[in-house]
C-alpha cells in the first residue's frame, strides 16, 4: 500500500473514531439529563439530508415539558457535500468538497434559577479536486447562561472546564475563555454577553497525525467535562422558589439568547447556508421569550447583578 493509500485509510479511521465518540457522548449526556429530569424523555428524530442518503444525516434528540427541563436538544450530525459558491463567498471556504461531524446541545430549564447551557464539539474536513484533505480543524466549547448570578456556580463551571484543558497547556484556558466572552456577545447591544461565558475555540488545525490525535484527546476531555461542570449546578438550584417576576426576567434574557443565535452565531449561519435541517438548527431557541421595550432592571437588584456580569466580563477562577 503506497503512502497516499495509507494516509487515506488513516484519515478514514480517524473520522470513524470521531463519529463513534460523538454518538457515545450524545448517549451519555442524554441519559444523565433524563435521570435528572425524572419525568421527560428524549425523543429521537433520525434524519437524512437527501432521500437517497447522500449528504449524510443526523440524530436530533429533543426533550420538553419536564419537571426540570422546559426544552432541550442534544443533536449529532455527520454531513458532507460540495462547496457551493455561497459557502465560498460567505463562509470563506476554499475547496471542492467538505465533511463535518459534531454534537451540539442546548438546555433551557424551567426554573429561572437554573441556568441555560450550550455546548458543541465538532470536526471539519475540506477536500481538493482529487479528494485529498486540503484543510481540517476542530472547534467547540461550552458556556453558561444564568438568569440569576450565583458566583459559586460560575466558579465551578469555569474551574471544571479549566481543569480539563490545563493538561494540554496552562495558557489555553485564559485564551479560550476570552474568546468565549468576545464571541457569545450581542455587538448590537454594546457587546452585552448572553451569559457568563465558558470556553470557545475554533480552527484548531493539526500539524501532523500525532497532533491530530492530541487534538482528538483535547476534544474528548472537554466533552467529558461537560456533565461535571453542569449537573452539580442543576442540583443546587432546581428547588429554588420562583414567581412571575423571575419568569419575566428569564424570558427577557432568553430574548437576548434568541438575538445572538439568529444574528451572530456562526454555527446557525453555517447550517442554514449549507441547506442544513432547519428544525435541528433552530432547536436551540427557547420555547418562550420576551422583548420589553428599553427594559432596565432596578439598580442593585439581583437582575441587575446578572446584567452587570454580562456587560463586564469577569475572571471566575
Active site residue 118: yes
Q: Are 230 and 151 in contact (CB under 8 A)?
A: no
CA neighbor of 115 nearest in space, from 144, 73, 80, 143: 144
**Catalytic residue from among 118, 156, 264, 295:** 118
- Joined together, the cell numbers standing for residue 226 give 461537560
Cβ neighbours of residue 297 closer than 8 Å, sequence gap 6 or more: 249, 303, 304, 307
Strands 69-82 and 133-145, by their bridges, are: unpaired
Which DSSP symbol is given to 59? E
Q: How far apart are CA 88 and CA 310, in angstroms?
A: 34
In Å, what is the CA distance from 177 to each residue of 94, 149, 174, 189, 316?
Answer: 29, 18, 5, 20, 10
CA neighbor of 290 nearest in space, from 240, 246, 253, 245: 253
Q: How far apart are CA 193 and CA 185, in angstroms?
A: 4
- Joined together, the cell numbers standing for residue 102 give 459534531
Q: How far apart are CA 149 and CA 168, in angstroms?
A: 30
**Phi (first) and psi of residue 97, to 5 degrees:** -135, 160
| Strand partners for 169 | none
Query: Annotated catalytic sites, by residue?
Result: 118
Amino acid at each position: 500500500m503506497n503512502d497516499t493509500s495509507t494516509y487515506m485509510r488513516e484519515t478514514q479511521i480517524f473520522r470513524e473514531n470521531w463519529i463513534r465518540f460523538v454518538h457515545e457522548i450524545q448517549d451519555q449526556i442524554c441519559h444523565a439529563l433524563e435521570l435528572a429530569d425524572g419525568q421527560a424523555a428524549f425523543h429521537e428524530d433520525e434524519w437524512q439530508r437527501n432521500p437517497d442518503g447522500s449528504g449524510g444525516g443526523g440524530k436530533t434528540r429533543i426533550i420538553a415539558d419536564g419537571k426540570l427541563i422546559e426544552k432541550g436538544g442534544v443533536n449529532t450530525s455527520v454531513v458532507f457535500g460540495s462547496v457551493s459558491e455561497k459557502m465560498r463567498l460567505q463562509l470563506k471556504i476554499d475547496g471542492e468538497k467538505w465533511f463535518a461531524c459534531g454534537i451540539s446541545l442546548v438546555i433551557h430549564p424551567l426554573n429561572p434559577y437554573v441556568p441555560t447551557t450550550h455546548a458543541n464539539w465538532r470536526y471539519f474536513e475540506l477536500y481538493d479536486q482529487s479528494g485529498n484533505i486540503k484543510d481540517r480543524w476542530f472547534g467547540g466549547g461550552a458556556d453558561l447562561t444564568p438568569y440569576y448570578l450565583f458566583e459559586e456556580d460560575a466558579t465551578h463551571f469555569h474551574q471544571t472546564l479549566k481543569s480539563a484543558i490545563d493538561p494540554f497547556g496552562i495558557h489555553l484556558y485564559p485564551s479560550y475563555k476570552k474568546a468565549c466572552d468576545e464571541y457569545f456577545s450581542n455587538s448590537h447591544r454594546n457587546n452585552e454577553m448572553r451569559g457568563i461565558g465558558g470556553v470557545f475555540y475554533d480552527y484548531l488545525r493539526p500539524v501532523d497525525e500525532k497532533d491530530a490525535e492530541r487534538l482528538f484527546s483535547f476534544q474528548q476531555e472537554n466533552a467529558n467535562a461537560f456533565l461535571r461542570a453542569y449537573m452539580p449546578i442543576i442540583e443546587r438550584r432546581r428547588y429554588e422558589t420562583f414567581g412571575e417576576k423571575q419568569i419575566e426576567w428569564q424570558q427577557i434574557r432568553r430574548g437576548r439568547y434568541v438575538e445572538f443565535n439568529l444574528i451572530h452565531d456562526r454555527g446557525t449561519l453555517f447550517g442554514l447556508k449549507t441547506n442544513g435541517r432547519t428544525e435541528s438548527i433552530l432547536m436551540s431557541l427557547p420555547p418562550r421569550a420576551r422583548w420589553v421595550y428599553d427594559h432596565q432592571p432596578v439598580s442593585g437588584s439581583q437582575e441587575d447583578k446578572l446584567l452587570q456580569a454580562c456587560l463586564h466580563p469577569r475572571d471566575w477562577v
